[in-house]
Amino acid sequence: MTAPDRADSRPSPATALSRPRRSCLAVPGSNPRFLEKAQGLAADQVFLDLEDACAPLAKEDARHTIVKALNEGDWTGKTRVVRVNDWTTHWTYRDVITVVEGAGPNLDCIMLPKVQDAQQVIALDLLLTQIEKTMGFEVGRIGIEAQIENAKGLVNVDEIAGASSRLETIVFGPADFMASINMKSLVVGEQPPGYPADAYHYILMRILMAARTHDLQAIDGPYLQIRNVDGFREVAGRAAALGYDGKWVLHPGQVEAANEVFSPSQEDYDHAELILDAYDYCTSAEGGMKGSAMLGDEMIDEASRKMALVVAGKGRAAGMTRTSAFQPPEA
């Protein structure tokens, strides 16, 4: 089973894959008070949860609570996502139909948890396409976020990442993953006792490589000690250092920390913009059409430009403003 080709209807990278997701706030879909409060927080993304945050008996009503919140709430500046239940449950199809039919124009992505193979992503893609056609919505506009939460999902992450043109992110789900591999720890996000290195390094890099191969964003999962902001910063900093785009936040106190950790420093942002300006100048006719040049004591070239594009892009997405300007060298 393969998904239909929608290359012409896929949202452009500038509007979909480049959405800032430094902080991805989890909100129980069954709690109207939390749904209202989330609208005023500075999270880049908010995902309204129908899975783990909703008790089984609350899921049906939560679908309608989420539709109402999406349609009537003010989510300005935020990517709006709903996490449905995974395909091994009997709730998934009705989660998707109720939410997308009820609030499709006010929804950006569906998050699919516990993804184990590409077929599960393709099934969601096809269901979304049928709903969009039936309702007269733009086909292909609603994206998919795939959550990797067990060993099978990680082994198949490459094919998962390439399963659909709707995919925007690959998300690491640490709690279920730790259980699936029998990791000796009960503290989600912290290192297991007795292991002298980073137990999550391979997992995070494996997800990151698959995401980048298919031009997707990579998002780290939650840190459950919500009052330990220093611990959150440390764990988030490791993911950011690898190149991750953001991290889940479970509490308003983690939002500011995530936004800071996954944004470049002012110094790095300014330097990246200067590199881009200097490279544009040196390769121009006015700058002598050179392939490399000096920026202060630093030699810059095409590779420097590529690295600077990443940092500058993150700074621009974060709304940062330059504090320095490029001055061409005097002849």
Tell me: is residue 83 an annotated ligand-binding position: yes
Tell me: is residue 149 an annotated ligand-binding position: yes
Q: Which residue has the tokens 């297991």?
A: 192
Tell me: is residue 176 an annotated ligand-binding position: yes
Residues 6+ apart with CB under 8 A from 261: 22, 233, 236, 237, 240, 247
Residues 6+ apart with CB under 8 A from 170: 145, 146, 147, 148, 157, 160, 161, 207, 210, 211, 216, 217, 218, 219
Residue list, annotated binding site: 83, 149, 176
Residue list, annotated binding site for substrate: 83, 149
Residue list, annotated binding site for Mg(2+): 149, 176
